[in-house]
Amino acid sequence: EGLVTLIGATTENPYFEVNSALLSRAQIYELEPLSEQELEEIARRGAAALGVEVPEELVSLIARRAGGDARNAYNILELASQTAAARDQVPTEDDIEDAARKRPLVYDKGGDAHYDFISAFIKSMRGSDPDASVYYLAAMLEGGEDPRFIARRMIVLASEDIGNADPRALEVAVAAAHAVEHVGLPEARLNLSQAAIYLARAPKSNASYVAIKEATRDVREHGHLRPPDELRDAHYYGAKKLGRGQDYIYPHSDPAGFDVDYLPEQLRGRKYYRPSGSGEEEAENGN
């Protein structure tokens, strides 16, 4: 019939790496990490195949350190067994831990892990969970993620998700980014950790994000609406004759200037900034 069946396996996300024409004709199956119970059974079988006696508590330890990967479980067991055999002993907890530290970390800086971990990191800080924030930060740094990328995302979050509920959050995030440039790893992880915890614990508001989003929408929908004449530049000769700057109320001399709607006439009454009432961002009473 001329039928060809291709079966492929990859550790990469096929939606990133596989040609779209081929992808449209393929059925995708995602393989999930093995459970600890499954990994324990794999470790027992591996120990039997190697002829090594491994206590149950160490079988559980191997399963926990394998990270859901059967190959990692076998590698940890084999390396620990070789280390113990050199002493004519059975593997110990220290042997398992040492072997686990030598296994490669499962973190692809250009694929799923890069996006998944930064997403989890941002959402943990947004959700005010400092413990999860620090965990995902540590996972990214241990995986070799660029600390400057992490710092940039923290700066964005400081304005997008905290804003004027705690204006110091932006200063903290920018300071952490500067620390990364001036100090470098591994010490800069302390600065990033401090900043991540601060951002996670800070009161939250997305009012600044919503304000610029809605204002941008109006600019794109209505174009660049001209400012009222009283707000236009009046420094040049003849500006007054054109009505520029006339009737402008200087707020510091006349408090009435604080009550003026400065928007273009077509948008008068529009509210972009709506304080959340969180932290220092107090909601406007009666508005």
Q: Is the pLDDT of residue 104 over 60?
A: no
> Could you report the per-residue pLDDT of 233-276, keeping only the tens digit for each?
776 777 677 767 677 777 777 777 777 787 888 888 889 888 88
Is residue 18, in this structure, part of any structural domain at all? no
Q: What is the pLDDT of residue 135?
A: 95
> Could you report the per-residue pLDDT of 14-42, keeping only the tens digit for each?
776 777 887 787 888 888 888 889 999 98
The mean predicted confidence, pLDDT, of the chain is 85
Question: How is the chain classified by DSSP, letter by letter?
Answer: ----------SS-HHHHS-HHHHTT----PPPPPPHHHHHHHHHHHHHHHT----HHHHHHHHHHTTT-HHHHHHHHHHHHHHHHTTTS---HHHHHHHHHHSPP---TTSHHHHHHHHHHHHHHHTT-HHHHHHHHHHHHHTT--HHHHHHHHHHHIIIIIGGGSTHHHHHHHHHHHHHHHH-TTTHHHHHHHHHHHHHHS----HHHHHHHHHHHHHHHH--PPPPGGGS---STTTGGGTTTTT---TTT-GGGGG---S-GGGTT--------STT-PPPTT-
Q: The domain spanning residue 116 has which CATH number?
A: 1.20.272.10
- Tell me the residue range of the domain where 233 lies: 209-267
Domain boundary pick from 174, 201, 228: 201
Domain total in the chain? 3
Is residue 67, in this structure, part of any structural domain at all? yes
11-15, 72-76, 179-183, 195-199: least confidently modelled range = 11-15
Domain boundary pick from 152, 180, 201: 201
Q: The domain spanning residue 91 has which CATH number?
A: 1.10.8.60
Q: What is the pLDDT of residue 3?
A: 78
